[in-house]
Amino acid sequence: MTSPFRFEHSYQSLGDAFFERRDPEPAKHPHVVLFNQALAENLGLPSDAVPEEEWAKYLSGSILPPGSSPIAQAYAGHQFGGFTILGDGRAILLGEHITPDGRRVDIQLKGGGISRYSRRGDGRATLRAMLREYLISETIHHLGIPSTRSLAVTTTGLPVYRERVHEGAVLTRIAASHIRVGTFEYVKHMLDDTALHKLVSYTLHRHYPDIPEGPNPGLTLLDALMERQLDLIVHWMRVGFIHGVMNTDNMSMAGETIDYGPCAFMNAYRPGTVFSSIDTHGRYAYANQPPVAQWNLAVLAGTLLTQIDPKEETAIKRAQLLLNSFPERYLSKWQRMMNAKLGLTDLRPEDRSLVDDLLSWMESRSADYTQTFLALELDGKLSEMHPEDTQLQEWLVRWSNRMEAQPGGKEVSLESMRSVNPAFIPRNHLVEQALDQAEKGDLDPLNALLGKVANPYDRSWSTIDDTIVPPGHDDKYQTFCGT
Ligand code: AMP
Ligand code: MG
């Protein structure tokens, strides 16, 4: 049988200092729990290309697929503001698979064993956390938001010791690459300018092939990533996604959502929402995501100064000028997005207060973010959900007048709203219930949820009432990192 994998290893051309050669740790009893058929086909890796038992061995790292050349990548990062040398402590990159249509994607085994970067960690991952990453990353992808993907979750038959004994598992992660802001921090601190120059060039070629390097590749890269991160964060804000751990090592240079740990979707609209158990100061709260992205980009800029100008003072000035454009660029993209959520197809000066007033109203009533926008599609629904609310009534009149003033009428508005407002997001209580059952061996609720998140804009089956969250649930809901 011929192998469906077509591996290349361009990242390794950057030099030995960028990674450690390391084979994954073989599993004891590899068993495929979830396999993403549609993604596999899309990547040119059809499930019947390899016998089933062999898939389990490939996907768990128990045998190496032909052509792979496993490595753990070196990186550093600012975690909650503090600098640390990190690296893949529990993930092994098999290589870059070239899809039949010529795309280059990393295939990585998360939970695949220790490396020289493991520090005190065991190199392993729990089944529960890997199923969670599979579910949420696929949700983000289907919401139309750039994301790493999940090809499979495979149990290893090895125990993982956390607050209790867990079943061990490996997530087969597909990414445009695993180059992070933290990769640049590593090179800046541990290597030299030649290595940094190579990394800038490599990243531009791999992720921004359409942007000419120009006379200043350092500045070009900073600007290119800023544009992608602005779009990414605006998408997160659109659907109420809270990444939860936006450390610089968790910011992809390709602009994809990466490293799904304590992430979750916000239900009641509260800008300060934080679910992560370790984020005690709310550094990565919903509303802090834009300024944190800017902060992370400033860290990137700090690593790129020698690439921007030989004179440090000039380099800082040029980087600062670019970084200072972040808030304005963000606000403009965010306003456009919020207008689309309200079915407004053009932009007018008064829209800022129209949006702000709705958000303040939602906050004061603890209204559900997703449900509120869905209800706006149905005449009278929001008023019915909030009877005798004069503040809401006044706002609805303003919104209605604003819509009448735009070309295209209601149908065009509805079309816009249906394309940006999800009808279904994986509610926290549903996620936890599905994971509880999956850990007991019943995958039906998880598969049902996966079916729903695959069509999050589909109004045909969903009703607003489907999205009701048990009262008080989120007040004590906590998510955990790296488990
Ligand atoms: P994360 O919080 O998942 O982004 O991980 C932060 C860092 O900790 C990365 O360098 C990971 O590779 C490392 N890490 C997380 N969990 C483990 C583990 N169980 N064993 C070894 N390293 C780990
Ligand atoms: Mg990480």
447 Cα–ligand 1 center, Å: 27
**Based on the domain organization, do 14 and 146 belong to the same domain?**
yes
82 domain residue, yes or no? yes
* pTM > 0.85: yes or no: yes
Mean pLDDT, rounded, of the chain: 95
Total length of the chain:
483
pLDDT at 452: 94
Residues 269 and 412 in one domain: yes
Look at residue 196 and tell me if it is in a domain.
no
Protein residues with C-beta less than 5 angstroms from the ion ligand 2 = 250, 259
Atom of ligand 1 nearest to the CA of 250: 4
Q: Is the CB of 482 under 6 A from ligand 1?
A: yes
Indicate if 73 and 144 belong to the same structural domain: yes
What is the structure's pLDDT at 482?
61
Average pLDDT of span 28-34? 96
Taking the CA of 87 as reference, the closest ligand is 1
Q: Residue 374 falls within a domain, yes or no?
A: yes
How confident is the model at residue 461, as a pLDDT?
67
Ligand nearest to the CA of 88: 1
Please indicate, yes or no, whether residues 166 and 215 belong to a single structural domain of this protein.
no
- Contact 377 CB / ligand 1 (< 6 Å): no
Nearest C-alpha to atom 22 of ligand 1 is from which residue? 89
Residue 26 lies in a domain: yes
405 & 277 share domain = yes
Does 20 contact ligand 1 (Cβ within 6 A)? no
Q: What confidence score (pLDDT) does residue 477 get?
A: 87
Mean pLDDT of 32-45: 97
For the segment 255-274, the average pLDDT, to the nearest whole number, is 96
Residue nearest to atom 8 of ligand 1 (CA): 89
pLDDT of residue 347 exceeding 70 = yes
pLDDT value at residue 255: 98
Q: Which residue among the candidates 249, 279, 368, 474 is catalytic per the annotation?
A: 249
In whole angstroms, what separates CA 426 from the centre of its chain? Answer: 15
Model pLDDT for residues 355-375, shown as the tens digit of each residue: 999 999 999 999 999 999 999
Confirm or reject: Cβ of 90 under 6 Å from ligand 1. yes
Burial class of residue 457, CB neighbours in 10 A (0-12, 13-18, 19+): middle
Domain total of the chain: 2
Ligand 1 mean position, distance from CA 199 (Å)? 23
Is there an atom of ligand 1 within 6 Å of 276 CB? no
Q: Residues 90, 108: contact at Cβ < 8 Å?
A: no
**What is the model's pLDDT at position 480?**
81
Query: pLDDT (tens digit, 9 = 90+) per residue, 211-251?
Result: 988 899 999 999 999 999 999 999 999 999 999 999 999 99
Tell which atom from ligand 1 comes closest to the C-alpha of 114.
Answer: 21
- Whether the CA torsion 360, 361, 363, 368 is positive or negative: it is negative
Give mean pLDDT, residues 65-69: 96
In a domain, 455, yes or no: no
Rounded Cα gap, residues 470 and 468, in angstroms: 7
Separation CA 451–CA 21 (nearest Å): 38
Question: Is 407 contained in some domain?
Answer: yes
- Same domain, yes or no, for 130 and 215? no
CB of 88 closer than 6 angstroms to any ligand 1 atom: yes
Mutate to test the pocket of ligand 1, among 20, 22, 83, 90 (most ligand atoms within 8 A of CB): 90
Mean pLDDT of 340-368: 97
Do 129 and 223 belong to one domain?
A: no
Count of other CB atoms within 10 angstroms of residue 349:
6
Q: Averaged over 70-76, what is the pLDDT?
A: 98
Q: Is residue 249 among the annotated active site residues?
A: yes
Contact 110, 170 (CB under 8 A): yes
Q: Say whether both 262 and 164 belong to one domain.
A: no
Q: Are 250 and 158 in the same domain?
A: no
Question: Looking at the predicted structure, is the pLDDT value of residue 154 above 90?
Answer: yes
Pick from 85, 71, 313, 291: nearest CA to 188: 85
Ligand 2 centroid–CA 88 distance in Å is 8
Domain hosting 314: range is: 210-423+462-483
pLDDT at 1: 56
Query: 294: how many CB neighbours lie within 10 A of its CB?
Result: 20
pLDDT of residue 466: 66
Q: What is the CA radius of gyration of the chain?
A: 23
The tokens for 429 are 């209580």
- Same domain assignment for residues 217 and 114: no
Q: Is the CB of 261 under 6 A from ligand 1?
A: yes
Tell whether 27 is covered by a domain.
yes
Q: Give 428-470 pLDDT, tens digit per residue.
A: 999 999 999 999 999 999 999 999 999 999 998 666 766 778 8
**pLDDT tens string 177-201:** 999 999 999 999 999 999 999 999 9
Taking the centre of ligand 1 as the mean of its atom positions, its distance from the CA of residue 422, in whole angstroms, is: 32
Same structural domain, 246 and 132: no
pLDDT at 407: 86
How would residue 52 be classed by pLDDT, with cut points 50, 70 and 90?
confident
pLDDT exceeds cutoff 60 at 483: no
